[in-house]
């Protein structure tokens, strides 16, 4: 699997909490960990899009809660830049990317967890985060979270294994020029980050998932236009991803409306 194939499979929508919101402090971080949560919301309709609305709303702002991604069985929604601090894991806030996995009524839970594991693998690749730095919310604060994943066969270690397996697949699936990777799949579950990643180069597809003012420190290949500053690169890359998502949604709406005269739903 290439980076581009993984990103297409994830079906990512960028819907950021507005700058200046009380639950978006704007503090820059260089992530070294990934924290996995469940939403603790099993209500019907409590999917990633609903949580995107929630995290921009008055309750989330008053409680000062925020995280980076919400994942359900059909999509991923990004709420914060990956190089900004969210409020989701106590002592883990300053070092980790927060991923919430939905558990709403009617969800295909296996598909949601699998999507979260693939997203985790991409973040591992982007920030050179080793398997042992994938953390549960419980490991930071003792909260019973991610409660669904913790109770599944194999518990949290099984989730870590799945993410590490996807990372190995991404490292081995560099076809089509989407990333230039060295080495094989050796010791993914035990090696430290320098052994796993070495001098690998992350390609432009994955650059749409991370935030560009930390990318030069990591040696990523952005293929930016000459003269672009970090903010311009970020806006260009996020714009590209948003447009791709819009085109996919529009195509789906047109296909669903074919034969019954339905118009595509406005974005």
- Say whether pTM exceeds 0.95: no
Residue 191's pLDDT band (boundaries 50, 70, 90)? Answer: very low
Q: Of the candidates 152, 148, 125, 150, which has an alpha carbon nearest to the alpha carbon of residue 139?
A: 150
Residues 249, 254, 256, 258, Cα dihedral to 10°: -170
Higher model confidence: residue 44 or residue 184?
Answer: 44
Residue bearing tokens 């009380």: 22
Q: What is the CA radius of gyration of the chain?
A: 18
pLDDT band at 137 (very low <50, low <70, confident <90, very high): very high
Delineate the domains of the chain, giving CATH numbers in brackets. Answer: 3-256 (3.40.80.10)
CA distance 29 to 158: 28
Residue 10 CA to its chain's centroid (Å): 9
> How confident is the model over 214-256, as pLDDT tens digits?
333 333 333 333 344 444 454 445 555 555 555 566 666 666 6
Give, in order, the Cα–Cα distances in Å from 253 to each of 69, 162, 179, 248, 259: 24, 33, 32, 9, 12
Share of the chain above pLDDT 90, in %: 61
Residue 173: the pLDDT is 66
Asked if the model's pLDDT at residue 77 lies above 70, the reply is: yes
**What is the secondary structure of 166-206 as a DSSP string?**
HHHHHHH--GGGT-B--S--TTTTTS-HHHHHTT-B--HHH
């Amino acid at each position: 699997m290439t980076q581009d194939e993984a990103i297409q499979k994830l079906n990512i929508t960028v819907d950021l909490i507005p700058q200046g919101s009380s639950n978006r402090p704007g503090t820059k971080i260089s992530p070294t960990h990934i924290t996995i949560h469940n939403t603790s919301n099993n209500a019907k309709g409590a999917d990633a899009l609903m949580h995107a609305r929630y995290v921009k709303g008055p309750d989330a702002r008053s409680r000062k809660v925020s995280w980076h991604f919400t994942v359900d069985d059909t999509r991923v929604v990004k709420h914060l830049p990956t190089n900004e601090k969210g409020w989701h894991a106590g002592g883990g806030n300053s070092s980790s990317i927060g991923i919430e996995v939905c558990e709403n009524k009617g969800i295909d839970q296996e598909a949601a967890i699998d999507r979260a594991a693939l997203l985790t693998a991409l973040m591992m690749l982007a920030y050179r985060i080793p398997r042992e730095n994938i953390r549960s919310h419980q490991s930071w604060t003792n909260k019973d979270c991610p409660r669904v994943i913790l109770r599944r066969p194999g518990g949290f270690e099984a989730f870590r294994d799945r993410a590490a397996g996807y990372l190995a697949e991404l490292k081995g699936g560099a076809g089509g020029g989407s990333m230039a990777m060295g080495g094989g799949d050796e010791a993914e579950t035990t090696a430290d980050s320098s052994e796993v990643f070495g001098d690998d180069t992350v390609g432009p597809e994955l650059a749409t998932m991370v935030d560009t003012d930390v990318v030069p420190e990591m040696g990523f290949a952005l293929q930016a236009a000459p003269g672009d500053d970090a903010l311009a690169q970020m806006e260009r890359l996020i714009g590209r991803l948003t447009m791709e998502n819009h085109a996919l949604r529009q195509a789906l709406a047109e296909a669903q409306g074919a034969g019954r005269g339905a118009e595509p739903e406005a974005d």
